[in-house]
Amino acid sequence: MTHKVIISGGGTGGHIFPAIAIANALRRAQPEIEILFVGAAGKMEMEKVPAAGYKIIGLDIQGINRQSLLKNISLPFKMIKSLWKSRQIIHEFGAEVAVGVGGYASGPLLMMANYIGIPTLIQEQNSFAGKTNKNLGKRAKKICVAYEGMDKFFPEGNVLLTGNPIRRTSVNISGKYSEAITSFGLEEGKRTILVTGGSLGANTLNECIKGSLDKLIQANVQVIWQCGGYYFEKLERELKGTLPANIKLLPFLQRMDYAYAAADLIIARAGAGTISELCVIGKPVILVPSPNVAEDHQTKNAISLVDKKAAIMVTDMSARIHLVNEALKLIRDEAICVELSENIKKLALLDADEVIANEVLKLIN
């Protein structure tokens, strides 16, 4: 018998990449399994999921807009419409299990699956569970988490510490230093800082680097600066002719493994997926949590590493003053770099995708 699984969620790479990793692990375990994705119409999953070889259906759903209450007027109607469409999708596809990875589409799809009686599994990526997942978790058969102590948000007997699924191709950096440095046109042996704002870029990080170019040039370090497609053209225009050869401005990183392999120090946001990759990479990290996320969960993610002396945190508010100074100080302090590297490696969980896929198959059986 061919088993059928729905995976719902998305909105950012931090939700989409783990979802695809779980789907790939399910296919490795059962090559004949049928997997359907449900995302939010117009969001990046509608492009990324088909590119990974999976079918996706979009729901007309949005999150709560905290800047403009007027933009939330249509939200209840969209929610009702999405619930009915979710019911239709579940019945027509014949789903045996529904998996939620976070993001707008996860709410209505898993709510309807719970209502119908389809077993559900939640993959909670952050150290602080959001309201939607806390509510969904009351009826979920299994909640797979990336941090210890998550039973304060979910029924204890259903919580399983698995870690977050990661892009294995991105963290496979062994023996790639020389080819990575060459691919960026950089110099071997020179200290290299990777600055990455995630799949969408991060304005704060971009402003920090732009405002501190003189300091970085004087410090004789190399920088791989991934600024995001949204910001690239404007930055390229503003900095035309002023960027030295050792500072590489890029919209995206096609080979994340090369970026990680080349770096001596990494500056990043504190999204759950990013942190999971950084734990496996095991290099010194400065985290700058985004303040523009629900329940400020990136700060809580970062603090969970800082408390274990596994990362340094600079707040978004203070980053323009302190971030580059902190990075240059850290990259010169070999003892602290070694301590951070050793401690962050201890938090790595490599096979989350396999473990979660196994839990999904258990729910079918």
Joined tokens for residue 164: 């977050």
Q: Is 170 annotated as a binding residue?
A: no
Q: Is 13 annotated as a binding residue?
A: yes
Joined tokens for residue 228: 């995001």
Chain-centroid distance, C-alpha 66: 22
Joined tokens for residue 218: 């004087």
The answer to whether 163 touches 178, Cβ cutoff 8 Å, is no
Joined tokens for residue 90: 């579940």
Phi and psi at residue 31, to the nearest 5°: -55, -25
Q: Is 30 annotated as a binding residue?
A: no
**HEC sequence for the chain:** CCCEEEEECCCCHHHHHHHHHHHHHHHHHCCCCEEEEEEECCCCHHHHHHHCCCEEEEECCCCCCCCCHHHHCCHHHHHHHHHHHHHHHHHHHCCCEEEECCCCCHHHHHHHHHHHCCCEEEEECCCCCCHHHHHHHCCCCEEEECCCCHHHCCCHHHEEECCCCCCHHHHCCCCCHHHHHHHCCCCCCCCEEEEECCCCCCHHHHHHHHHCHHHHHHCCCEEEEECCHHHHHHHHHHCCCCCCCCEEEECCCCCHHHHHHHCCEEEECCCHHHHHHHHHHCCCEEECCCCCCHHHHHHHHHHHHHCCCCCEECCCCCHHHHHHHHHHHHHCCHHHHHHHHHHHHCCCCCCHHHHHHHHHHHHHC
Q: Is 167 annotated as a binding residue?
A: yes
Phi and psi at residue 100, to the nearest 5°: -115, 130
How many other CB atoms are there within 10 angstroms of residue 60's CB atom? 16
Q: Is 103 annotated as a binding residue?
A: no
Q: Is 174 annotated as a binding residue?
A: no
Q: Is 100 annotated as a binding residue?
A: no
> Residue positions in the annotated binding site?
12-14, 126, 167, 199, 298
> Residue positions in the annotated binding site for UDP-N-acetyl-alpha-D-glucosamine?
12-14, 126, 167, 199, 298
